[in-house]
Amino acid sequence: MIERTFARQRKLLPFASTASGGMEIPFYQVDVFTDHIFGGNPLAVFTKGECFQENQLQQVAREMNLSETTFVYPSTKDEADFDVRIFTPSREIPFAGHPTLGTAFVLRMNGSVTSDPIRLSFKAGIIPVWAENDKGFMQHPPAKTLHELNHSESIAKALGLSVNQLDGTLPVQVVSTGFPALLVPVISLKAVQGIALNPQILKEVLGPLGIDMIYPFCRETVKTENTVHSRAFAPGLGIPEDPATGSVAGAMGAYWANLAKNDADITMTIEQGYEMERPSLINVEISKQEGKTQQIRVGGQTQAVFKGMMSI
């Protein structure tokens, strides 16, 4: 049984026992990287992760059937406010962007913490999250370029494209700020919108790289004020398509900054999710010094959608 209330209430519903002697555990659902509900990337947040048995975490994430579900725990580190675990419908992952911002939003909303930044400890490390006006911003781990690949026919076919639809003026790279993805430049917005994923070929491309996500993008955008238009696919994680990918937005920012041959700071806005009718806007800020990326911040707006009780 799930009880849903469409309201921005600040206190958690009290714990209660079910008729069968189980427990009702509260959760929140929010939409991240959007200025309105039913846009952006939905996220389920369970603020009392310690109420679950270990084997239930994956079951709950599969039941929620969102790109990610987070479970919050008391911190095991003095330098962090909370520990957080992230699950896709198929497995646990060490870091992801919209779960970081969405979890921090919920913890502020329900009064669990008032400090700024909130310091969240993930398996990939501790991530600080700031509230700035109507947005949240997180600091990413340093970016790493793990591989550079040819503009190959197999990569194009994995996306249902031809090689000449890849943008040969930009590199194809695997970049990571905690969650690696294959960044693939595409020649036009029409080509990106026309992507038809081939899961078998995609598995053959990503498998040897040891990664789970492909991230095609182009410099032509739906909204002229935005910087790039992107899509993200990770079927191996149970995510056929992701409407907003904050972790890879940091990698995209580092990739973009590396193309600029100066020390000027960079701000960019990534649009994503339009093909899914969940338009998302992701803000990325890159500081540079001596031609190298020094700091990566990713942010956007989050909207409360509902809170409910899960019976376990």
**Which residues are marked as active site?**
68
Residue pair 303/30 in contact (Cβ under 8 Å)? The answer is yes
Q: In 3D, which of 231, 280, 294 has the Cα closest to residue 101?
A: 280
Structure tokens at 9: 């209430």
CA distance 196 to 157: 9
Return left, alpha or beta for 123; rule: phi > 0 is left, psi -120 to 50 is alpha, else beta.
Answer: alpha
- Dihedral of CA atoms 270, 273, 275, 279 in degrees, nearest 10, equals -90
b/e map of 39-52 (b: 16 or more CB within 10 Å)? bbbbbbbbbbbebb
CA distance 21 to 277: 41
